[in-house]
Every structure is written in structure tokens, then in C-alpha cells.
Amino acid sequence: MHNQKSSYINWSYSGSTDMSFGTGATTSEKILGYGAGLIALAFYSYFFLMKIYPWNSWQYLLASLLAFDIAGGLVCNCLNSCKRFYSTSLQSEETSITVRLLKRHWFFTIIHIHPLIIQCCFGSSYIGIYGIFWYFALQSSAFIVMKTPLYLQRPMAMLLCLIALLFNSYIIRALNGFEWLIPALFIKIVYGHLVQEEPYRPLTEKHLNHSSN
């Protein structure tokens, strides 16, 4: 009961545009987002230092950037501040073409070409089904969620993430060093970004809003 009383639902926001954490993100929300990215980065730093995989230095750097983006984005897209930012229409101050495009769910999804990058840069050959399969599986799953009634979006997204997890584990062999990435990518996009949920905010934010008015 304490947690419920310390939060409230707020769809409105203002301030400097933040496309990573959502405009108006609290310090705690930003710490969670950065923390997730840094945990993934720490793993790949360890892989580099121990030479776990037969990669070149540039491949370790690329893998680290991809891991930071996916892991950090997974948590960020689940933040209430980010849910609010991407589930509301453009604000009057949001005039940037980048913001306009990224607030379109279909555009946000198609630019996540991570499986294609991994296939090209880490696969045994440039011709393979890994990248193409997972990229179009992600687009198809996103399309399904976007066409699903709101009250079924969350369970539908979870079902699609489960299917992706099973395929990643038993059907489409994951590339070494990226065994975790496809399930995380699906959670980031299919659930985290696309599913509309009520944006709970700390009660202190409500007090700040009232005081500013």
C-alpha cells in the first residue's frame, strides 16, 4: 500500500527533450538505465581482457556498444518516464524531426538493425539466416503488437518474447557472444517500447507540478 500511495499516474510532461530516458525522468530512473548498460559493458570488457572470443579489437568495441545499447535500452524503455514520452503525442516544443520520427513506433522499430549488424560483423559468412530471420521476426512481432487491442498488448508482447526466447535457444543458433541479445532485444522493443502502460510518477513530482502552477 505504501508504494501505491507514493506514486500517481501522470501523462503530461514538460522540459528539455530526453529521447533516451523520457522527458522528466528522475535521477533514480536514469541510474537504472545507465546501470543496465554498464553491467553489459562490464561483461564485454571482461570478455576482451580474457580474450574469450576470437574477435578483433574493433569487434569487441562494436559488441560492447551493441550490448550497452540493448541492455540499457531494455531498462530505459520500461521506465515510466520513457513509456509516457513515447506513448503520448508530440508536445508543442518537440519540433525536431528526430523526435517526430522516433515517436512513430514503426520507425523506432525498423532502425533496430542489430541482428543484421551481428550477422555481417560476427557471423562465419555474410550470407546466413540469423540476421535476416531475427530482423524480420522483430518487425513482424512489432506489427502484431501494434495491431493488438490495448487490453491484450502486454500478454501478446510477452507471448512473442517467449517465442523468440525458445527459437533463440533451440531453433536459430545464437552466435557466440550474443546468446542473450535476441531475447533482450525483443523485451526492449516488443514489450518495453510498444506496450502502452500507465506512467506512474513519484508523488514529489506532483507536488513540484502544483508548486510551478
pLDDT at residue 206, as a whole number: 58
Residue 47 pLDDT exceeds 90? yes
| In a domain? residue 190 | yes
Domain-embedded: residue 176? yes
In a domain? residue 173: yes
Q: What is the pTM of this model?
A: 0.91
Mean pLDDT of all residues in 123-136: 81
- Kindly state whether residue 189 falls inside one of the protein's structural domains: yes
| CA terminus-to-terminus distance, the chain | 29
Query: Strand 7-9 relative to strand 200-202: parallel, antiparallel, unpaired?
Result: antiparallel
CA 183, 129, 36 angle in degrees (round to 5)? 25
Range of 101's domain? 19-212
Tell me, yes or no, whether 5 lies in a domain. no
Residue 114, all three cell numbers: 542489430
- 197 burial (CB, 10 Å; 0-12 / 13-18 / 19+) is middle
Establish if 188 belongs to a structural domain.
yes
Assigned domain for 11 exists: no
Burial class of 32 by CB neighbour count within 10 A (0 to 12, 13 to 18, 19+)? middle
The number of distinct structural domains making up the chain is 1
Using an 8 Å Cβ cutoff, are 116 and 135 in contact?
yes
Of the candidates 107, 78, 85, 82, the residue with the CA atom closest to the CA atom of residue 188: 78
pLDDT band at 173 (very low <50, low <70, confident <90, very high): confident
The verdict on residue 162 lying in a domain is yes
Q: Tell me how many degrees the CA angle 10-12-13 measures, rounded to the nearest 5.
A: 110
Q: What is the mean pLDDT of residues 33-37?
A: 98
Res. 5: pLDDT tops 60: yes
Percent of residues, the chain, with pLDDT higher than 70: 92
pLDDT band at 152 (very low <50, low <70, confident <90, very high): very high
pLDDT in tens, 64-119: 999 999 999 999 999 999 999 999 999 988 999 999 999 999 999 999 999 999 99
